[in-house]
């Protein structure tokens, strides 16, 4: 028998709770990769503040790894910045996909643009309606930002004691989470499948020959197979 004193949570609260639960795996994966980034940066000879500040200001995993790789290889700051900028150009397309989710106000849109990542966009667009997409974007974006930066700080402080967490196979967590997020859209829409297949083929084909992050950018060519997109 239902108790008359039982409290029923408002729909918005239930939605927020479920989104926090669902996005927690993305946060965990982000924190793990962040630990790896911080540890690799410091173990390579960079001061602790470099990966920490970079993660707060740049906040782009593949671009950060590539930029640090350039620095540790002896390249200058301009070369490192150019590499990171090239790899992060794909977020321009992601930003267009979630532009209507950021809300009004210049400050809000600026903060939202800073939170645009592969994972946050995929998680938001996997939701069934605009209101839930907007909530999912902000919950997943803010949570992932916090988890990534906390992980980077832990890894940077630990330094050489941790080494590269990729040797444990934990770097596979992000791709696995992304696959799980896009599967519902692939099942529901044949047009999405027609665009995703050539995009995946292109990304796999160029992966051995180009820097990390570029395959995702080139995979956007698969959009030309999406119905309604003109060549």
Three-class SS of the chain: CCCCCCCCCCHHHHHHHHHHHHHHHHHHHHHHHHHHHHHHHHHCCCCCHHHHHHHHHCCCHHHHHHHHHHHHCCCCHHHHHHHHHHHCCHHHHHHHHCHHHCCCCHHHHHHHHHCCCHHHHHHHHCCCCHHHHHHHHHHHHHHHHHHHHHHHHHHHHHHHHCCCHHHHCHHHHHHHHHHHHHHHHHHHCHHHHHHHHHHHHHHHHHCCCCCCCHHHHHHHHHHHHCCCCCC
CB atoms within 10 A of CB 161: 10
| Chain segment 7-66, per-residue pLDDT in tens | 443 445 556 788 888 888 888 888 888 888 888 888 778 889 988 998 998 888 777 877
Indicate the range of 34-38, 49-53, 73-77, 104-108 predicted with least confidence: 73-77
CB atoms within 10 A of CB 52: 19
Q: What integer best gives the mean pLDDT of the chain?
A: 76
Question: Would the pLDDT of 138 be above 80?
Answer: yes
How far is it, in rounded angstroms, from Cα 64 to Cα 78?
Answer: 14
Query: Of 6-15, 71-80, 123-132, 221-230, which has the strongest mean pLDDT?
Result: 123-132
Q: How confident is the model at residue 169 (pLDDT cuts 50, 70, 90)?
A: low
How far is it, in rounded angstroms, from Cα 114 to Cα 215?
Answer: 22
Overall average pLDDT of the 58-83 stretch: 76
Q: How confident is the model at residue 182 (pLDDT cuts 50, 70, 90)?
A: low
How far is it, in rounded angstroms, from Cα 53 to Cα 111?
Answer: 17
Overall average pLDDT of the 193-209 stretch: 82
Question: Would the pLDDT of 184 be above 90?
Answer: no
Question: Would the pLDDT of 131 be above 80?
Answer: yes
Residues 6+ apart with CB under 8 A from 162: 35, 36, 39, 155
pTM of the prediction? 0.66
Question: Would the pLDDT of 147 be above 90?
Answer: yes
């Amino acid at each position: 028998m239902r108790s008359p004193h039982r409290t029923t949570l408002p729909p918005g609260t239930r939605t927020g709770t479920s989104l926090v639960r669902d996005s927690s795996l993305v946060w965990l994966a982000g924190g793990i990769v962040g630990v790896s980034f911080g540890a690799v940066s410091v173990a390579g000879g960079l001061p602790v503040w470099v990966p920490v500040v970079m993660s707060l200001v740049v906040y782009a995993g593949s671009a950060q790894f590539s930029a640090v790789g350039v620095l540790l290889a002896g390249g200058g700051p301009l070369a490192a910045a150019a590499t990171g900028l090239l790899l992060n150009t794909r977020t321009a397309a992601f930003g267009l996909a979630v532009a209507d989710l950021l809300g009004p106000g210049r400050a809000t849109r600026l903060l939202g643009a800073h939170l645009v990542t592969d994972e946050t966009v995929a998680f938001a667009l996997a939701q069934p309606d605009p209101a839930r997409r907007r909530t999912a974007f902000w919950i997943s974006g803010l949570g992932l930002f916090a988890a990534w930066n906390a992980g980077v700080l832990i890894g940077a402080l630990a330094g050489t004691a941790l080494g590269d967490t990729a040797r444990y196979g934990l770097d596979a967590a992000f791709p696995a989470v992304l696959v799980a997020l896009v599967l519902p859209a692939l099942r529901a829409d044949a047009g999405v499948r027609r665009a995703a297949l050539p995009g995946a083929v292109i990304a796999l084909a160029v992966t051995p020959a180009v820097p990390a992050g570029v395959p995702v950018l080139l995979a956007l060519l698969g959009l030309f197979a999406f119905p309604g997109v003109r060549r």
